[in-house]
Structure 1
Amino acid sequence: MNWLNSPGAMETATKAREELISAIFVRPDSPAAWQFAGTKPYTHGISPGCVLCGQGKWSCLFINNICNAACFYCPSGQNDRGLPMTSTVTFEKDLDYVRYVNRFGIEGVGFSGGEPLMTVDRVLDYLRAIGEHACRPIYTWMYTNGILATEDKLKALRDSGLNEIRFDLSADNYNLSGLEKAVGIIPVVTVEIPAVPEDLEITKPLTAVLSSMGVNYLNLHQIRCTQFNRPKLVRRGYTFIHGPGVSVFETELAALELIRYTLDRDIPLPVNYCSFTFRNQFQKAAARRRNANLIKKDWEEITPTGFIRAMSITGPNERLGLVLERFRSQEDEGWAVSTKQDRILFHSRLWQLIDFTGLELKVKYNTTALRPAATLRYPFTKVRLNQDKAVVIERDDRHQGIRLKGDEIPAFARQFLTPSGSGADPVGLSPEQDLAFSRFETFDQGLAPLY
């Protein structure tokens, strides 16, 4: 594997990326902007489904695990029809899935695979069930390579409630026949492809064609490397970058080049780049947040990144007693006392009632995971969807507790609890403390570092 690991190569790669970003954003009246902590650059807008994805309000339902294409970049084998699945939980019955959507506060559902059109009746059943039984409006979309797209299937999908369809044109040599059928039938038509560097001579002029056809959005995503696709990516001579996962650097440059191309030629097609750092951070945070909402205690909170934050104070009995008197005078259940009566747990909305003089603050973080059944390695809560179907949410201590005293306490509040808090506090927290908190409280800004 060709890793981007030498100082010279990293410097060259960084310069190439910065030049493209500058060409996109540093221009008069640029329609380009950033979303989601600077991990997603886009022009003219992004689709409702992408917004829900970034906000963590969607569920990706893998309707099957079979495919009729053989894309070199596919991250997994597609050879098992299987059962519809999301977050490791299978749903044999469509109504069970709708109850999951209702219970977890989901507002958008994306149907993926495999290739969903290979089991189109399944998609239609789940779409109808969502339309009939969801307790809130659900925005729905479906991914497809378009090979099996027919006018009858597209109309059936529309009539069953599909709001958006996304075509991976690169899976079928950029064949536009399925896409042409969908425009005018499905309300929102999107092209979603990996930014393949070797295909730029095809995809650049294609952007104008898509715009003239009435395609609503072009989504470009970064190719990630897995054990399944690694040999094919290596044979193409790609450069790999480290991070939470392994991704292909050249696809990032290709995505930015395509965005610049559309701006240089005033092509009004909305384009967004779905980087791996966006997916890794925001989609994982979304899953944690959905789970945490169902199991957190009244005195606990959910951080922007989806972790459960638990704060508590310890100190002399008389100091804790004064805090308890103030808490008890409020009609607020956002606090509790430990079994040994030596610790008070509290929600940050009660912060102003506390005089922290002589007290120690402890901030602890938990993470969550949704499972079809308990692994028995962690504490868990069973969430029943109906009489026959239940899932479990496991809870794991991710940090046993960061302890703060004196000036460190208000510094933590200024930086992580108040809306205006941003950047390192000049007085109070050490760099080590700031790093420890940031891991659970904030998203990494910008595109992935090249190292």
Structure 2
Amino acid sequence: MRESGYYSYVVGELPEGCKLCVKGAKLVLFTTGVCPRDCFYCPLSPWRREDVAYANERPIKSIDDIIEEAKIQEALGAGVTGGDPLARLDRTVEYIKVLKENFGEKFHIHLYTTGALATKENLEKLYDAGLDEIRFHPDLFNPNSKLFKVEIENMKNAFDFDWDVGGEVPAVPGHGEKIKWFAELLDKLGAKFLNINELEFSETNLRALINRGYQPISDESSAIKGSLELGLEILRWGEENTSLRYHLCTAKLKDAVQLKNRLKRMARNVAKPYMEITEDGTLKFAVAEYEDLDELYHLLVEEAEIPEEWLYLNREKGRIEMPIEVALELADAIEGDVKFYIVEEYPTWDRIEVERTPIN
């Protein structure tokens, strides 16, 4: 076992899907929020638990949305997730085919599934579409359910196809023996890897986790106490008792590496000339807000003689965007109700604002 260099831990090599993921080069293709299970630790937001589809943060209204998002990210692959993507199999198959047709066979695609719907017929459709890697997440923490038995039996079907098969489960404290059992089964069947995710809380699963006695490690982290330690224990055990490759994916990796690298790839393709790209991959620029934007725009161009290429009239957000240096000068020169701010945003489709600093 060793540290990966990405705030995570590995036994053997990283799975192919993970190699691109840590570089921020994997498009997150969310094909549906529909799922045959209702896991207590599921972190999905309420609006993603519906039959909706997203390419990263962009809602998918047409195939073109997927292609556009992949180009902006300079994606080299995609991770197909949900819900359970097999709950909307035809849609998932179509998306995989489109990505392969547009970006080539080397565009690596992996998919997560519970296994509940992984019949041989369904898996054959995914394989023929071009899926490269499949990761199973059976309901280990409810092993007496009928669905769990179906998931395990269906998982065996995956080994009839020439793709990489592995497992991916959260390190839920108190359930280490169940995860080890799953690892032994994967090893016996001929799987290549088992990914262990550090358990995290979200707005939607926090109450369920607390009710079961789980607590965050601190006010600054979304990780759950004891999860990282359990993951390390499983990797040490797995290295000695199985031939699988392992990856312990930490909460810090997702935020400090995966997301940061994805933002950087996107920022260089969406940043306008007046925007700065920060070390974290966010966009930094200035805005002016005023009741009459057309009047303000005319004032800036005609009277202040600001080049139009330095300005962007964003009617949707009710502001005029510009370089920070220009705003600093204008804030001292323009009197009245015009408000100037330095803002920092994600370069994603939803352009979440992460910071706003008043200038005047």
In which range does the TM-score fall when normalised by the shorter chain? 0.7 to 0.9
Q: Is the 1:102–1:135 Cα contact (8 Å) retained in structure 2? A: no
Change (3 A) 1:308 1:339: closer
Q: How far, CA to CA, are the matches of 2:262 and 2:59 in structure 1?
A: 16
Cα RMSD (Å): 3.1
TM superposition shift of 1:89: 1.4
Q: How far, CA to CA, are the matches of 1:178 and 1:117 in structure 2?
A: 12
TM superposition shift of 1:398: 7.3
Alignment of 1:390-405 (within 5 A): none
Amino acid in structure 1 at the alignment position of 2:209:
L
Paired residue for 1:208?
184
Q: Secondary structure at the match of 1:226?
A: coil
Change (3 A) 1:252 1:99: same
Q: Is the 1:166–1:191 Cα contact (8 Å) retained in structure 2? A: yes
Q: Does 1:105 align with 2:74?
A: yes
Q: How far, CA to CA, are the matches of 1:102 and 1:264 in structure 2?
A: 42
Q: Secondary structure at the match of 1:63?
A: strand
Alignment of 1:405-444 (within 5 A): none
Q: How far, CA to CA, are the matches of 2:343 and 2:23 in structure 1?
A: 21
Paired residue for 2:65?
96
Change (3 A) 1:184 1:235: same
Amino acid in structure 1 at the alignment position of 2:169:
I
Q: Is the 1:34–1:42 Cα contact (8 Å) retained in structure 2? A: yes
Paired residue for 1:134?
103
Paired residue for 1:371?
349
Paired residue for 1:195?
171
Q: Is the 1:288–1:367 Cα contact (8 Å) retained in structure 2? A: no
Q: Does 1:68 align with 2:36?
A: yes
Q: Over residues 61-86 of structure 1, what are the superposed CA-to-partner deviations in whole Å (9 max), with x where a residue is unaligned?
A: 1111111101111013464112x113
Aligned length: 299
Amino acid in structure 1 at the alignment position of 2:86:
L
Change (3 A) 1:262 1:167: same
Q: How far, CA to CA, are the matches of 1:186 and 1:74 in structure 2?
A: 30
Paired residue for 2:120?
151
Amino acid in structure 2 at the alignment position of 1:273:
L
Q: Secondary structure at the match of 1:224?
A: coil
Paired residue for 2:51?
81
Amino acid in structure 1 at the alignment position of 2:347:
A
Q: How far, CA to CA, are the matches of 2:73 and 2:93 in structure 1?
A: 22
Alignment of 1:54-65 (within 5 A): 54-65=22-33
Change (3 A) 1:297 1:115: closer
- Match of residue 210, structure 2, among 214, 217, 234: 234
Gaps of 5+ in 2: 286-322, 330-341
**Structure 1 segments of 4 or more deviating over 4 A?**
296-304, 307-310, 364-367, 393-400
Gaps of 5+ in 1: 1-31, 311-335, 343-363, 373-392, 401-451
Q: How far, CA to CA, are the matches of 1:366 and 1:398 in structure 2?
A: 7
Q: Does 1:45 align with 2:13?
A: yes
Q: How far, CA to CA, are the matches of 1:303 and 1:40 in structure 2?
A: 24
Alignment of 1:8-23 (within 5 A): none
TM superposition shift of 1:366: 5.2
Stretch deviating more after TM superposition (287-296 or 107-116): 287-296
TM superposition shift of 1:226: 2.0
Stretch deviating more after TM superposition (129-138 or 247-256): 129-138
Larger radius of gyration: 1
Q: Is the 1:107–1:136 Cα contact (8 Å) retained in structure 2? A: no
Q: Over residues 343-388 of structure 1, what are the superposed CA-to-partner deviations in whole Å (9 max), with x where a residue is unaligned?
A: xxxxxxxxxxxxxxxxxxxxx995533235xxxxxxxxxxxxxxxx
Q: Is the 1:165–1:186 Cα contact (8 Å) retained in structure 2? A: no
Change (3 A) 1:396 1:291: farther
TM superposition shift of 1:206: 3.2
